[in-house]
Copies of this chain bind each other. A is one copy, B any other.
Amino acid sequence: MNEIINLRRRQLLAGSAGTLAAGLAGSAVGIAGWSPRAWSAEPAKPKPLPDYVAWKDAQSLIVHSATTIETKRSAFGTSVITPAEQLFIRNNLPAPDASFVADRNGWQLAVEGVKNPRKLTVAELKTMGLETVAMVLQCSGNGRGFFPHKPSGTPWTVGAAGCVIWSGVPVRAVVEALGGVAEGMRFMTGTGGEKLPEGVDPKGLVVERSVPLKAMEDALLAWEMNGEPIPLAHGGPLRLIVPGYTGVNNVKYIKRLAFTRDETEAKIQKTGYRISPIGVKSDPSHPSVWEMNVKSWVNYPNPDSGPVPAGGLQIHGVAFGGVNAVKRVEVSLDGGKTWKEAKLVGPDLGRYAWRQFVFPVKLKPGTYTIASRAIDVEGNVQPENRLENDHGYINNSWRDHAVQLTVA
């Protein structure tokens, strides 16, 4: 933390790098989730969208800070795909300036840890293959706001997630073209291209993440999101996409893709994004936040929708299984005492995407606690309780995500 605090102080004193300073201030926690910060369910008063995401739909979003912006539960539609204007933002460093996307095809990626390492431009990558994957993008800390111990970090409820379509070249196609993975490599390590301030240990700030080699199988080097060039705010011109893994593993503005024997020594990997017991500082002995777990939640009704009249109601929400497809979803109207199967609707965009579910009911006046519970094709059942952990990661408790409804 001292590095960060000192960095901020220096920059503020120097009166320069205002954007960086502001960004760091906003995402102090973000620079890998260690800094203590006052926990709050929602910002005291609505903040405006920062300039770099001024194109987003302010009505649909909760601005926690310049680098942490959440989709409102009430804004999630029923059309499977989350539009870019509504998609959450969570940057570990301040977003780079627009020069990053001035020449998208000219952006360079160094590929290392393969038989024939080399640099490739996006233009070259575009000649090497093309694939498209629909995927849930979810921050590791989505659902943190439900942890009663008020972990440091943004108190997201459900909106640090979206389902998006990415296009790019399969990592395996690039690796094949470069002679295959070098011997003995066990991890795929991506490095973000953010410019780091001088005079600090880059390991303390760099967004560099390692995932197990097997994650390469369906990974993409993507230049397109939802049919458009990836916006800078979401990692354009080039982003590493690791379907089924939490957001931080999908490295933005990727400048280096390395196959490595060991996990990176970067702080964000070594001690950040790990599951440690409450009160225990995380270290490399604690499990990394990698694959997502089975999860669902109801989007309608939601805390903002207020009482509804008695009669018909289409309860709906989303369900996903991380690396596994969702098999079924159950809904409870009585806080988990009894469950009934919901209907999966709409197009199935593949195992990494979420499914919409609908549960039609006729309700008499009264109060209801509506919960949903997803089961994946491997038989994993969304649990009642969260896995307690210091930083409030990977919360998939159905109880935490339940909503109260008053029928008038």
> Which residues in A have some Cβ–Cβ distance to B below 8 Å?
57, 76-86, 126-134, 165-167, 224-229, 311-314, 316, 345-350, 353, 356, 358, 360
Contact = CB atoms under 8 A, between A and B. Distances in A.
A228 B314 contact: no
B349 A314 contact: no
A81 B127 contact: no
25 contacts: A77-B167, A78-B130, A78-B132, A78-B167, A79-B167, A79-B226, A80-B132, A81-B226, A81-B227, A82-B227, A83-B83, A83-B226, A83-B227, A85-B228, A127-B311, A127-B312, A127-B314, A129-B314, A130-B358, A131-B345, A131-B346, A132-B345, A134-B346, A165-B347, A349-B349
Oligomeric state, in number of copies? 2
Contacts of A130: 78, 314, 316, 345, 358, 360
A165 B353 CA distance: 15
Q: Which of A81, A134, A358 has the most CB of B within 10 A?
A: A81
A81 B80 CA distance: 11
A13 B349 CA distance: 54
Nearest to A135: B347
Given A79-B165, A167-B78, A86 B228 contact: yes
A403 B167 CA distance: 23
A346 B132 contact: yes
A80 B227 CA distance: 7
